Every structure is written in structure tokens, then in C-alpha cells.
A and B are shown apart, each in its own frame.
Chain A
Amino acid sequence: MEQLSVGEDLFATLAVVGLFILFIATLAHSYYLFTERRNAYESFDLTLDIAEYIKNHVLADSPGSIDLTMNKLENCSKLLVQEGIELRVEVRTLGGDVLLAYGPEQNQLGGYLSPPCSVSLPLAVMRGQGSAQLCELVVWARRR
């Protein structure tokens, strides 16, 4: 049986190992980029789902309008925390005034590995006597 000759040729061995490490590193980096992009999409998708759910079910008064009630939002947030999702919700006027804010500040919510994703949707806030104000619902969500 013929003996292996790798040990006899040091240059060949080093070249083989070097190439192997280099290309495995490239593959790992490519996979990292791929998963990072996938996580960003999934995070945006999740935040949009949550924003739609809050607008259409949690705070909904009638389709397109909401009541500024904090209790339902608290319950919803508790359920999401159990699922490992942190949340911040703001209702802002088009002028930028905050009418309702719930959850930790955006900068506290932010993490190095999984930064929060935000989505804003227009809605009307009922003000009584048939009057409603055009506002924006802004939701930040982050998986812990």
C-alpha cells in the first residue's frame, strides 16, 4: 500500500489548509449576511403584523379609527413579552405631538445584535362629537 505523501511536501499541505480555511471563512461570512438579511425582513414583517393587529383589534374603535385606551395595549404587550417580543407604541399627530406612548424608550429598546424595527400607519383618533384627528401609529418591536 502506497503511503500518503502530504507530510513530505510541507508547501502543499500549507496551501491546502490555507485555501480550505479561506474558503470556509468566505462561506461562513456569506451565510452570516444571508441570515442578517433574513432576520431584517422577518423583523419588519413581525412589526407590521403587530402594528396592524394593534390598529385593527387592540385599539380599534371602528375600521380606520382608534380610541386612546392604555389598558388593552398593556394586555397586548404582556402577551407579546411572553413570546419574547419587546414593544413600543406611539400615536403621533402629523405635527409630531405624541398623544399616546407605551413601552420602553426607543433607545432602551435598541440592542446591538437585534435592533428594533419600526412601522408607521395612518389612522384617525376619535375625539368625541363626531370629530376625529388624522394621526400616525408608530410601532417598534424587537425580539429578545
Chain B
Amino acid sequence: MDEQGIGYITDMLIFALLISFASLLLVGASPIDPKIESTRYAASFAQSTLLAFQHSTSDEFGGFEYHLDTLSSGLNTSVLKESTKRALHHKTLTQLLVEDALFNLHIEAEGVELKTLSPSWGMKSELREFLQGILDKLIGGRFGYHLIVKSLPLDLGFVRIHFESEIKNFDDGAQRKLCSETIVATLPISHEELTRRTQKMLGTALELEPDIATEITLELWS
């Protein structure tokens, strides 16, 4: 093989090296960041879920009803049971989420969270299961989720109070938060009812604002 032939082969090997490098760049390069795409879809999905919850009523899922736990004294007759039944078929899922938060009063005094006794209404756990079932059906399998319902804190001088509840379902593999979408709702109970409930929980009457805003945040995880 003469020297010029060897020269050509050397040139071609350098050329091949450059092409290999270009190919590697092309294979490695992604035209669009897949994280951006999945985040965009997740954000749209979360937003749509929160908006749809504002309209969807519980009766579409068999409805929701509960009995007030007032029958602890053995007077457990069917007539009394019927009279303590509250049916919430007409309530939207957003209203039920906020009601769920109302069962979780958080009191903070000088930066320290105080423990409060949860009310003994039978609604609490059943409502949580009902809502989790719907969220699992809608979101589960696609994303992990973390739904937080939280009222804006009320500063009463000596204490700060807020209502907060959360429902979550993470797979073990969930590692990355894709999005966090929030909507604001008002409490679905009257001001008098809210005052009565907080009084029952705290043992003292509070001057509450008439309209307490509640944030519902849905985080989706992959």
C-alpha cells in the first residue's frame, strides 16, 4: 500500500470519527425536554381536576351520608338513627374537600402547635375514604398525588388558627413533583355554624371573619 493510500485512510478515519461524534450528539440530543412535556400535561390535568371538582356532585359516586355520633347512650333506635342522618348528595366534591378540612383545626400559640381534640362526628373518616376513592379512580395509575386543603390562617392576637387536611397517594417510586395547582374556595358552611364549631373545639367563642378563603392545592408526582 503506498503512502498516499495510507494518507487517504487516515483522512477517512478522522472523518469517520467526526461523523461518529455527530451521530452521538444526535442520538443524545432531545428536541424537546421530556420533563417540560410531562410537566405541562400534569399541570393541565391538575387544573382540570380541580375545576371539575367544583361542579361534580357526590351523588354521581353513590352519594355521601353520615350519622352524627350523638347516640352513645344506647338509644340506638332506627327512628333516632334516621333523625341524625345527614345526606350530602347535593354537595360538590370541592365542598366536601373543604368540609373535610373543617374537621382538622390547627391552633398555633407563639409558634407552637397545640393539640386539639378532634370532634367525634362519624363523618370524618368516611368522608376521607370517600374522597380518596374518587381521587384514586381519577388520578391514581397516572400520577402520585398530594391534595392539601388549607384555610388562610386567622390571627387572633394570642393564637393563630387554620383548618387543614391532606389526602395523598404516592407510589414508592414517586420522586419528582411535576406540578402544583391551586384554586381558592370559600367555606361551604355559614358563619354561625363555623363559629359554633370552633367554639365547640376550642371551648371559647371567637370573632371570625365572615368569609374565610380556603386554598385547595393539588400536587402531582411522577
Contact = CB atoms under 8 A, between A and B. Distances in A.
Interface of A: 4-6, 8-9, 11-12, 15-16, 19-20, 22-24, 26-27, 29-31, 33-34, 37-38, 41-42, 44-45, 48, 52, 55, 62-65, 94, 119, 121-124, 126, 130-134, 136
Contact of A41 (B19, B27, B32, B45): B32
B42 to A, nearest CB: 11
A34 B26 contact: yes
A52 B48 CA distance: 9
Contact of B45 (A24, A34, A38, A122): A122
Contacts of B4: 4-6, 9
Q: What 5 pairs between A and B have smallest CB-CB spacing?
A: A64-B51, A12-B5, A38-B31, A124-B55, A9-B5
A34 to B, nearest CB: 5
B40 A48 contact: yes
Interface in B1-48: 1-2, 4-6, 8-9, 12-13, 15-16, 19-20, 22-24, 26-27, 29-32, 34, 37, 40-41, 44-45, 48
Nearest to A35: B31
B86 interface: no
Contacts of B41: 44, 48, 119
A8 B2 contact: yes
B59 interface: yes
A126 B19 contact: no
Interface in B133-149: 134, 137-138
B198 interface: no
Given A20-B15, A65-B55, A37 B30 contact: yes
